[in-house]
Amino acid sequence: MPQTIFDDPDGTLSMLRDSAATLASRRPGPASLRAKRAGSADIDRDLWTSMAEAGWLGLLLPEDLGGAGLGLAEQAVLSEALGRALIAEPVGAGAVFASTLLRDAPASAERDRLAAGLASGELLVSPAWQDPSRHSHGAALKAMVDGDGFILTGDRHFVDGATSASDFLVVVDAGREALVVSVPAGRSGISVSEKAGVDGSAIGRVAFERCSVGANRVVARGPSIEALVENAVTNARIAIAAELAGIASKAVEMTIAYTKDRVQFGRPIASFQAVQHRLVEMWSDAEFACASVVNAVVKQSEGDDKAAHLAVLAAKARCGDAATSICRRAVHLHGAMGFTDEHDIGLYLKRAIALSATLGQPEAMRLEFVELEHAA
Amino acid sequence: MATDWNAMSDDDFRAAFRDLVERRLPAELRFMRKQRPLFDEVAVWYHALNEEGWLSPVWSVEYGGMGLNPAKHMIYVEEWGRLGCPRIPDHGLGLIGPLLLAFGTEEQKAYYLPKILSGEHVWCQGYSEPNSGSDLASLRTAAVRDGDHFVVNGQKIWTTLAHCANWIFALVRTSRDEKVRQKGITVLLIDMTTPGVKVRPIANLRGETDFCEVFFDNVRVPVENLVGEVDQGWNVAKSVLGHERIFLGAPTRPEIAMERLDKLARARGAFDDPAFRSRYAKHRLDLYDLGSAFERFAKVLREGGELGADVSLLKIFTTELYQRITEEMLLLAGEDARYFDDIEAGNGEVDAMNLFLDSRAPAIFGGSNEIQKNILAKAVLGLPS
The last residue of a domain, from among A93, A124, A155: A124
| pLDDT of A55 higher than 90 | yes
How high does pLDDT run on average in chain A? 97
pTM of the shown model: 0.94
Same domain, B367 and B273: yes
- d(CA A4, CA A80) in angstroms, rounded, equals 8
* Contacting residues of A for B293, CB less than 8 Å apart: 287-288, 291-292
What pLDDT, on the 0 to 100 scale, is given for residue A297?
Answer: 98
- B106 in a domain, yes or no? no
**Dihedral of alpha carbons A11, A13, A19, A25, sign:** negative
Instruction: Report the alpha-carbon distance of residue A360 to residue B169 in Å, rounded.
Output: 55
Kindly determine whether residue A370 and residue B376, on different chains, have CB atoms separated by under 8 Å: no
Query: Per the residue annotation, which of B244, B320, B327, B344 is the catalytic one?
Result: B244
Q: What amino acid is encoded at B202 in this protein? A: I
Q: Do A250 and A350 sit in the same domain of this protein?
A: yes
Residues A118, A96 contacting (CB under 8 angstroms): no
Q: Is B270 helix (H, G, I), strand (E, B) or coil?
A: helix
Q: How many whole angstroms separate alpha carbon A148 and alpha carbon A214?
A: 7
CA-nearest residue to A258 within chain B is: B383
Is residue A118 assigned to a domain?
Answer: yes
Residue A279: which of B271, B280, B377 has the nearest Cβ? Answer: B377
Shared domain for B183 and B264, answered yes or no, is no
Residue B101: inside a domain: no
B138 and B173 belong to one structural domain: yes
Identify whether A5 is part of a domain.
no
Residue B377 touches partner A, C-beta closer than 8 Å: yes
Cβ-based contacts of B381 with chain A (< 8 Å): 256, 276, 279-280, 283
What CATH number corresponds to the domain at position A174?
A: 2.40.110.10
- For A291, residues 6+ apart whose C-beta sits below 8 A from its C-beta are B289, B292, B293, B295, B296
Alpha carbon distance B194, A61 (integer Å)? 76
CA gap B27, B359 in Å, rounded: 26
Domain boundary among B206, B233, B260: B233
CB atoms within 10 A of CB A131: 18
Contact A291 B383 (CB under 8 A): no
Q: What is the pLDDT of residues A82-129, one digit of tens each?
A: 999 999 999 999 999 999 999 999 999 999 999 999 999 999 999 999
Looking at the fold, whether A200 and A308 belong to one and the same domain comes out as no
One domain, residues A278 and A253: yes
Q: Are residues A246 and A232 in the same domain?
A: yes
Q: In this structure, are B197 and B253 located in the same domain?
A: no
Longest dimension (CA), chain B: 74
Residue A246 resides in a domain: yes
Backbone angles phi, psi at B321, to 5 degrees: -65, -40
> Shortest Cα distance from A341 to chain B (angstroms)?
27
Instruction: Please check whether residues A73 and A213 belong to one and the same domain.
Output: no
* HSE-up of residue B91 (Cα within 13 Å, Cβ side): 23
Amino acid at A323: A
Residues B266, B168, single domain; the answer is no
The helix (run of H) or strand (run of E) holding residue B107 is helix B106-118
**CA Rg, chain B, in Å?**
22
Gap from B286 CA to chain A (nearest CA, Å): 9
User: Looking at the structure, do residues B367 and B253 belong to the same domain, yes or no?
Assistant: yes
User: Please, which residues bridge with residue A213 across strands?
Assistant: A150
CB–CB contact A318 B376 (8 Å): no
- Alpha-carbon distance A47 to A45, whole Å? 5
Question: Does residue B265 fall inside a structural domain?
Answer: yes
For A303-337, how does the pLDDT look when each residue is reduced to its tens digit (9 = 90+)?
999 999 999 999 999 999 999 999 999 999 999 99
Q: Looking at the structure, do residues A353 and A235 belong to the same domain, yes or no?
A: yes
CB A54 within 8 A of CB A19: yes
Chain A nearest CA to B382, separation (Å): 9
In sequence order, which residues have a C-beta less than 8 Å from that of residue A372 and are 6 or more positions away?
A: A306, A309, A310, A313
Which CATH number do you get for residue B171? 2.40.110.10
SS3 state at B102: helix
Which candidate from B281, B317, B381 shows the least CB-CB separation from A369? B281
d(CA A360, CA A349): 17
Question: Based on the domain organization, do A247 and A355 belong to the same domain?
Answer: yes
How much is the average pLDDT of A186-213?
A: 96
The answer to whether the Cβ–Cβ distance between A256 and B383 falls below 8 Å is yes
How large is the average pLDDT for residues A223-251? 98
Chain A touched by B271 (CB under 8 Å): yes
Rounded to a whole number, what is the distance in Å from the CA of B381 to chain A's nearest CA? 8
B292 contacts on A by Cβ (under 8 Å):
288, 291-292, 294-295, 314
Angstrom distance (rounded) from CA A40 to CA A197: 10
- A284 with A164, same domain? no
CA dihedral sign, ordered A158, A163, A165, A170: positive
Name the residue range of residue A245's domain.
Answer: 225-374
The answer to whether B123 and B92 are in contact (CB under 8 A) is yes
Q: How many domains does chain A have?
A: 3
B28 is known as an active-site residue: no
Does B95 map to a domain? no
Partner-chain contact B288 A314, CB within 8 Å: yes
Q: How many domains are there within chain B?
A: 3
Q: How far is B206 from chain A (nearest CA, A)?
A: 30
Residues A201 and A100 in one domain: no
Domain assignment of residue B111, yes or no: no
Same domain, B83 and B129: no
Does a structural domain hold residue A278?
Answer: yes
Last residue of a domain, which of A203, A221, A239? A221
Please indicate whether, in this complex, the C-beta atoms of B285 and A314 are within 8 angstroms of each other: yes
Indicate yes or no: CB of B289 within 8 angstroms of CB of A292. Answer: yes
CA distances from A286 to A69, A250, A324 (A): 29, 9, 11
Look at residue A197 and tell me if it is in a domain: yes
Cα distances from A22 to residues A17, A78, A217, in angstroms, run 9, 12, 38
Q: B251 and B179, same structural domain?
A: no
Q: Is residue B191 part of a domain?
A: yes
Looking at the fold, whether A73 and A192 belong to one and the same domain comes out as no
Contact B151, B120 (CB under 8 A): no
Q: Do B284 and A283 touch (CB under 8 A)?
A: no
- The verdict on B192 and B313 lying in the same domain is no
* Residue A3 included in any domain: no
Q: What is the CATH number of the domain that holds A45?
A: 1.10.540.10
Residue after which a domain boundary falls, among A202, A221, A240: A221
Distance of alpha carbon B155 from alpha carbon B127, whole angstroms: 10
Instruction: Provide the residue range defining the domain that includes B79.
Output: 5-88
| DSSP structure class, residue B89 | -
| Residue A149, in any domain of the structure | yes
| pLDDT for res B34 | 83
Helix (H, G, I), strand (E, B) or coil at A360: coil
B246/B229 same-domain check: no
- Residue A7 placed within a domain: no
Closest CB from A5, A271, A363 relative to B383:
A271
User: Nearest to residue A310, comparing CAs of B291, B293, B288?
Assistant: B288
Chain A contact for B371 (CB, 8 A cutoff): no
What count of CB pairs under 8 Å joins A to B?
94
Residue range A331-347: average pLDDT? 97
Question: Which residues of chain B make contact with A258, given a CB cutoff of 8 A?
Answer: none
B304 falls within a domain = yes
A256–B381: do the CB atoms touch at under 8 Å? yes
* B148 is a domain residue: yes
Distances (CA, A) of A341 to A199, A331, A333, B74, B324: 12, 11, 15, 49, 37
CA dist., res. A365 & res. A371, Å (int): 10
State the nearest Cα–Cα gap between A314 and chain B, in angstroms.
6
- Can you say whether the dihedral through the CA atoms of A23, A67, A249, B296 is positive or negative? negative
pLDDT in tens, chain B (385 residues): 568 999 999 999 999 999 999 999 999 999 888 888 999 999 999 999 999 999 999 999 999 999 999 999 999 999 998 899 999 999 999 989 999 999 999 999 999 999 999 999 999 999 999 999 889 999 999 999 999 999 999 999 999 999 999 999 999 999 988 788 889 999 999 999 999 999 999 999 999 999 999 999 999 999 999 999 999 999 888 776 667 788 899 999 999 999 999 999 999 999 999 999 999 999 999 999 999 999 999 999 889 898 999 999 999 999 999 999 999 999 999 999 999 999 999 889 999 999 999 999 999 988 899 999 999 999 999 999 9
Q: Does A353 share its domain with A241?
A: yes
Give the whole-angstrom CA distance, residue A196 versus residue A32. Answer: 16
Cβ within 8 Å, pair A5-B296? yes
> Cβ of B368 under 8 Å from any chain A Cβ?
no
Instruction: Tell me the pLDDT tens digit for each residue of A128-181.
Output: 999 998 888 889 999 999 999 999 999 999 999 999 999 999 999 999 999 999
Residue A293: closest CA among chain B residues belongs to which residue? B292
pLDDT at A44 exceeding the cut of 70 = yes
Residue from the list B282, B292, B313 with its beta carbon closest to the beta carbon of A294: B292
Interface of chain A toward chain B, CB-CB under 8 angstroms = 5, 256, 259-260, 267-268, 270-271, 273, 276-277, 279-281, 283-284, 287-288, 290-292, 294-295, 310, 314, 317-318, 363, 366-367, 369-370, 373-374
Q: Tell me what pLDDT residue A67 has.
A: 97
> Taking chain A, what is the end-to-end CA distance rounded to the nearest angstrom?
39
The maximal CA–CA distance of chain A, rounded, in angstroms, is 79
Same domain, B324 and B209: no
Suggest the residue from B286, B288, B295, B303 to mutate for an interface test with chain A (most A CBs closer than 10 A): B288
Q: What is the pLDDT of residue B241?
A: 62
Residue A216's φ and ψ, nearest 5 degrees, are: -70, -10
- Which of B35, B62, B88 is the endpoint of a domain? B88
Q: Which of B67, B88, B109 is the last residue of a domain?
A: B88
CA neighbor of B167 nearest in space, from B213, B220, B126, B215? B126
Which residue in B273, B303, B373 has the most chain A C-beta atoms within 10 A of its own C-beta, making it the best mutation to test that interface? B373
Residues A215 and A236 placed together within one structural domain of the fold: no
